[in-house]
Structures are given as C-alpha cells and as structure tokens.
Structure 1
C-alpha cells in the first residue's frame, strides 16, 4: 500500500547504483556510435557481407514512412494488414534515399535473402525479402531500376527470426539510456508526454505520437539522437504477452501503470485479465528498478505486488507518495493544484482540462523524482503541457463554437472523463457527439447505455453515431434528456451536418469515439 518514498535506481541495460541516476559519460556518445552499420545488420540477421560497399559506414535513423527519411536514413517497408510498404521501395530509391530496408511482417519474420545496393558511395538499399510481403515483386522492380550500381549481398539465408526489435535492442544498448515504460487502459499518450516534459532537463526522449506497439517502439528507439538520458516508451497491448514481449527488448527499469479499464475487454475477456496483461510491465522490471502505480485504482493496487522492484505510488484520492491537493477545476481553461511529493509541494497550473490530467501529472512527477528531479522543478516543466492531437484539444470552431476534440479513441473510462470536462465547461449549450466504443464485447450494451446516461447529465444535446447509437440515445432520453435534443446520425457525415447546425458562440461541442469510427471527420467539418 502507499507509504513513504520508495525509489530504486539505475538505467536500462547498464548496471547502476540505487541513487537517483545522473547522465553518465556513456550517454554522450556520438550519433555514429549509436547508428547501425551494414555489418551490424548482417550480424543481427545471421548473414554475411559480400561484394562491394563499406560495411562499417553507419546508417542514420530508420523510418517506416519513406516521406520522412532524411539523407543517409533508412526506410523500413512493413507489410501490414492494410498497407504494404514494399510498393514504395522503387519510389524511395528513385528519390535518392540513401538506404531503404524492406522487411515483411515484423514479428518473427525470416530474412530469406539480404541485398544491399549502394545509392551513394557509402550508403545503400537493404532488401530483406519475406514470404509474408504481398508486394515483393514491386520491391524487386524498384531495386532493379537502380541499374548497374555495386551490390553488397548479406547472404547466408539468415534464419534467426529477428526484426526491428533486435535492431532497437542494439541501439538501446549503445545509447545506455534509462527506459521508462508507460501503460494503462486510458491516458497513455498524455502521460508519456507529461513524463518526458518532467524529465526534460535530463535529455529525455519519448515515443512520438502513438508509436506504442511491437513495430512502433523499435522504430522510435532506432530514431534516437544522443545525448538521451531517459527514453519514455508508451506500451500498448491487445493480448496477453504483448507487453512482456515489448519489455524483452526495451528493458525498462521504471514502469508506470496508470489504470485498468474495459478497453480491449472483448479481446481479453475480463477486467482482471486486462490488469494481468498490463501487469506484465511491472513483472518485467529489475529488482533495482521502480514501479510507479496508481493508488486510486483497485486493479492496479491488486497487481502492484507482482513487481520485483519497489513501488512508488501516485494518486489524488488515496494516500500516495506523489499527489495533488487544493485542486481547482477551471473548466476548459485547465486545472490548478499543488503538486505534492516527498520533497515538498509546488503550485501547478495545467492548461489542459480534466482531473484525469492531474492524476497523470502526479505519475510524471513520480517518474521525474525517480530520476533526481525535485517537485518544484517538475511542476514548472509540467505547466508547459499541451494535449496531444485529438486527445482533449480545445479549439475554436465554426460560428464561434468551442470544439473539444477527443476523437482519437474512446473507452468507458475515457468517455466518462471527457463528459465531465464538457459538464464543467460552464457553457449554456453543451453538445456531445459520441460514437461507438469498440472492442467491448459482452460489455458493449451496458457501457453504451451508461454513456448515454452520462451524456444526459453532462450535455444539453446528444448526437450519436454507430452500431450502438440508438442505445445511447434511448438511455439519454430515459435519463431525462428531451427527446428532441437526442439524435441518431446514420453515418459520420450526417453527424457532422447535425453538429454543424448547432454551432454558435455559446456552444461547446465534445467529439469522442473509438478511432475506427473516424469522428475526426466531424471535427474537420466543425473547424471549417
């Protein structure tokens, strides 16, 4: 249970003392020391280098989007469910991208053949053929278009079954940075950004956007530019074992468990199973690491004891090592409070609305404290936090209406938090545009009905879209919302038209749904 400050020490992949770590000389390596070379790739993929080319020439950062590759960089073409990056290999080569890596399905793929074709004197195009890729012919055509340039074969039919995660582990080992893993059912991206902010003076970096999977985290690590003292990795999962796999190469020494909710319950079966899957982060920590856990969440409290590392608690309601007092909700203008830690307290003003953001700020302060940042310094840095795109961003929209864009994703807990923000806005007219919450399985009907009841208390009008739209509207009307104020939209376009018609200077519009519903299109329409 929460008590006094408990903090271990150390940094990922490098043994260290239990004291709060400071950047070591190893973190000041040059970027070339972190970069992988063709020789590294051959070793990691179990092949060998033959022919022309410079095997020790370092490759720059690796990208999955060929449009983002900078000179000397590498393009990783991944074969996914919807897109196959192999089709872009020819275009990447023609554009003069010095290095392009073509991999098939990332997880457990077998490198059947390796070929490096230099585009510049010391850089080239690495081709890793994979039977799971659907556009290998396009890749081959693109490579042949390079003409008679020298070829370096990475031969031997590498069969180690490795992918970008092996490359990421290599870069992480070279960087020597401390890794902080962040997981939870809701708020991962915001909490990750808050952690990076609080750690800012320690040369912190974080996974960009929502690159939080087996593919995204390695790509983020491969793009690190030193000096990096601490790397904050957002970790998502949709099945048991996935977070454990992420930890196997990221090797976090600090693990943050934000909360446990019904997100992905259709895939995992129960709240307890979700907690067990999230707890894999805690179970993967070394004994001299630290687990940062939410004291306000019963499921988090249940699984926290599984951590081999000592636990530092954060929270607002329950006793905790890091918390907030004197909390004042200023509506859409944000929240004011005093941030409290083992070394005292400090005023904090967050420009992002919602009490849930305060709790995440407490988690970030705990992580920062673990790395030697005092509570006053952490509070000063956290005040600069801005909501990530589509995650509670407040914007001025059509006809002077205020739009709360929370369209990126939704779960029962995050919908409740978003509706609380709408209710606290103080606006006379409060419109909730809600779409389906996906992957709830047998809980879907009850969860959407509850969302409708919450909307009746928080909003003056409701527009619902999706498979469960009628259920939300019926529940809202049953809870007291006038029937002519609750509408079912047949599709996203109709939802946008209905919402646009209600926009005026006195209206606040909340837009919230799971990512697959694509309610960002409603936001786009309301901002024109």
Structure 2
C-alpha cells in the first residue's frame, strides 16, 4: 500500500487544472486496469488499443478515488465533472512515469536494475532472496518490466521499502534508457548478451549497445555488474570510468567466480572464490543458473551483505512460474517446462544440462520456434544442432515452420524413428507426445512464448 495525497500527485505530474478542492484526499494505490482497482485508487487512463478514458465510470465504480485525465475537461461524463477529483495532464503515460519518479524519491530505497537477453527474471528472483536477508525488498512482479510496468511496480512499493528490484525489458533501441533514467539505479546488472529481439537490433553488438543503456541513469556512485567474459561488454564499459564495475563468470579473472559446480535434476550447488568452504545451493537445475546466482550475490555484497548471510535465503528462493520448472506428466513422466521464453543461447544451455540427467526412461525434447531473430532466423535455429546428441537424447520433436531447417539438419544424426516435425494445429503434436511418453520419461519443452508450447505443457500434465 502506498501513501500519497491528491495534492502530491497533482504537483508531481504538473496538473493543468485546479485540484485544491481535493488536496488532502488520500490515495493508496495506482493502476491503469479498472479490474485491479481497489477503494482509494488513482486511475490512470492510458491510450492504447483501447482508450482508458472511456472507462472512467467503471473505474469509479471499482473504487477509484481520483483519476488522471489528458482530454479536455468538457469530455468528462456529467456525473464526474464536479464531484470527483480529476487531475488533468498533457499525457497520462508521461504523468504515470513522473509520478513513479516522485514516489521513488519519496520512499528513497536503494534501486537495483536488472536487464539482459536471458535470465532477467531468474536473477531478479535470486537477487530478491539475497537482499531480503537484510532488507525490506520490493520487486517487479511477473514481467512488468516495460515503460508501463516499471512505473506501476514502483507505485506498488510499500512506503517502508528499503530496496526495490526493477527488471528492465526491451524490444527497441532507447527503451532501457527511458527506464534507467526514471529509476536511477544504485546497482545495475546485465545478465548476458544473447540473441533475443535480434531482429530489431541487427546483431549481438546492437543488443549489447541497447543493454548498456541501463548505465544511463546509474547514480554517480553506482555500480555496474556484468558478465566479465562477454567481450561485447568489455569494450563498452570502458566509457564508465567514473563508475564502479563488478564482474561475474566462470573465469578466475572475474570478481566472483565458481570453484566447483554440481548440477542435479532439482538442485545446483557450487562454491566460490569468495568463500571456498561454503557450498551454495540453488533449488533449480542448470549450470547456467550459477551465473545468475553470482550476479545476485555480487549485488548483495555491493549492498553490504556477505555470501555467508545470503546463501541460506538463496537456497530457498522461489522461481517465477514457467521458468525451468519440473512438473508431473502423464503416464508417470516428468516434464521440464521452459516454454516461456527462448533464444539460441538459452536453448542450447538448457539442452546441454538436460542431456546430462540420468533416468530409467527416455529423454525427449520438444523444441518450438524461436521468434524475433530476423534475417538470422535460419542460422540461429540451425546452431542448436550441436546441443542435440543422439547418444544422450532419445527423441527430438520439433514444432513450427522455423524449426524446419533444424529438422533437416538433424536427419544427419538422428534416425527417422526418433526425429519428428509438426506445424500448424497442435492437437496432432499433443496426441503424438501422449502416445510416446511412458513411466520415468523426461520431457523438455522449450520455445518462445509466442509459439505457445505452454498449451502443450498443460495438455501433458497429470
């Protein structure tokens, strides 16, 4: 619950009208979705595919106590015009962002910003666990990580918050800069540079430039945490001579690196150079998640939390739903659901880990199209081939038109009875998998969210 008055809001957003009549009116929540409003909310009518201004009466019905408004006041419904606090602004989205910036300054927590091609949400969840060992922490919920979601996240922050963790997503150049300038991080984390959205940036170098935008709003004494072995970032941090830099990764040249890693089906354990005698456990699979944990632990150390103090909390952190989660499948099988997001780097990483698991049944992988790869779509889908070994994977099932190039390439290494390709309607795919899976089989499903293999996951669950 937040604590603002109409007067504060009007001042923060530069109200164009006189709101003195309602100056002391208390606001405890802010939202643009009328369905989520509670009594005492500020309604923010955004203009998108629908015009939020058209829902002002529904907002009042659902508990709004005041509303922003960017249209002429004469367009207000008659029942609203004189008896309800309206704060007129030029642009409701800009006003939302301005209000978030004001509220952030009012609460004055430490700000941790997180971006990267992959691992943002997992690193956010891990950083939450690390920092909550010492601080009252508020974090981005779900994927509220864009120009609307980030200010809403800030405006959901309890007044006693000591650290806020803000995930920052992007699909175009300049988007991270807007978020960083709004949030002004004390600590900024770049998880990795992959191929997500490469269609819009042309190359990994273009993606690296966009991710580096997180340093735009970094405070004067701020710290940038990044993977030290990423050459594209090494070249780009040189201009941050006035900022503190911390690196993580597998090389001993990094500030924080693992000395040993033990990856199991449901847990990954590792030790670090910071304390070689302390084994840190993660309740998730994947050696790639060690890097996410190293970034989170580094953020903790920057904010004064020792690894010894934060490790027990990290061992119990809760992963956001649909991120590499084991589920009970039909016929006694186990499903590894990682169908929320995909790029080639992430797909190869999870395949490499999945391939090492030991089980009594079959190991089956179901891979769907990876989206927004632009002119490199075929090349990047084909790059997954080397992570599919017929000596470790029993069956490969591909879905989507873009996977055809990988399907053709895998004919060189997989027998035809172990390699399949589906497109279009998913029902034949679902029926086929149901007939294939048996007791103690492991099934990995990985794809971009837009490919919707999540519907297949649901159909295969027990």
Normalised TM-score (structure 2): 0.91
Matches within 5 A, 1:451-462: 451-457=384-390, 459-462=393-396
Q: Is the 8 A contact 2:180 2:216 kept in 1?
A: no
Matched, 1:339 2:275: no
- Specify the alignment match of 1:311 in structure 2: 245
Deviation at 1:300, TM superposition (A): 2.4
SS at match of 2:258: strand
SS at match of 1:163: helix
Matches within 5 A, 1:52-451: 53-81=21-49, 85=52, 89-94=56-61, 96-99=62-65, 101=67, 111-113=70-72, 150-154=83-87, 158=90, 162-200=94-132, 201-307=134-240, 308-330=242-264, 332-341=265-274, 346-427=278-359, 428-451=361-384
Q: Is the 8 A contact 1:253 1:285 kept in 2?
A: yes
- CA deviations over 1:392-421 (Å, ceiling 9, x no partner): 011111111111111111001110112123
Counterpart CA distance in 1 for 2:148 and 2:178 is 11
Deviation at 1:509, TM superposition (A): 1.0
Which ranges of structure 2 fall in alignment gaps of 5 or more residues?
A: none
Q: 1:74 to 1:524 in 2, by over 3 A?
A: farther
Q: Is the 8 A contact 2:66 2:87 kept in 1?
A: no
SS at match of 2:262: strand
- CA deviations over 1:359-378 (Å, ceiling 9, x no partner): 11011010000111011112
Q: Is the 8 A contact 1:257 1:300 kept in 2?
A: no
Normalised TM-score (structure 1): 0.80
- CA deviations over 1:395-449 (Å, ceiling 9, x no partner): 1111111111111110011101121232122234111111111111121101111
SS at match of 2:388: helix
- Specify the alignment match of 1:122 in structure 2: none
SS at match of 2:22: coil
Q: Is the 8 A contact 2:248 2:295 kept in 1?
A: yes
Deviation at 1:379, TM superposition (A): 1.2
Counterpart CA distance in 1 for 2:47 and 2:80 is 25
- CA deviations over 1:230-271 (Å, ceiling 9, x no partner): 111111112221111111111112111111111111101111
Q: Is the 8 A contact 1:340 1:346 kept in 2?
A: no
Compute the RMSD of aligned alpha carbons. 2.5
Counterpart CA distance in 2 for 1:47 and 1:355 is 51
SS at match of 2:411: helix
Q: 1:166 to 1:450 in 2, by over 3 A?
A: same
Aligned residues: 457
- Specify the alignment match of 1:523 in structure 2: 457
Q: Is the 8 A contact 1:44 1:162 kept in 2?
A: no
Deviation at 1:339, TM superposition (A): 3.5
Which ranges of structure 1 fall in alignment gaps of 5 or more residues?
A: 1-30, 104-110, 116-128, 130-139
Q: 2:448 aligns with which of 510, 514, 519?
A: 514
- CA deviations over 1:136-183 (Å, ceiling 9, x no partner): xxxx6xx55x5797244445x647982311111011010001111111
- Specify the alignment match of 1:469 in structure 2: 403
Deviation at 1:211, TM superposition (A): 0.9
Q: 1:302 to 1:405 in 2, by over 3 A?
A: same
- CA deviations over 1:468-520 (Å, ceiling 9, x no partner): 12222112222x11112211112333322222222222211111111111111
SS at match of 1:522: helix
Counterpart CA distance in 1 for 2:93 and 2:370 is 36
Matched, 1:486 2:456: no
Counterpart CA distance in 2 for 1:275 and 1:336 is 30
- After TM superposition, the runs of 4+ consecutive aligned structure 1 residues lying more than 6 A away are none
- Specify the alignment match of 1:118 in structure 2: none
- CA deviations over 1:275-329 (Å, ceiling 9, x no partner): 1111111343233111111123222222222333111111123422222222111
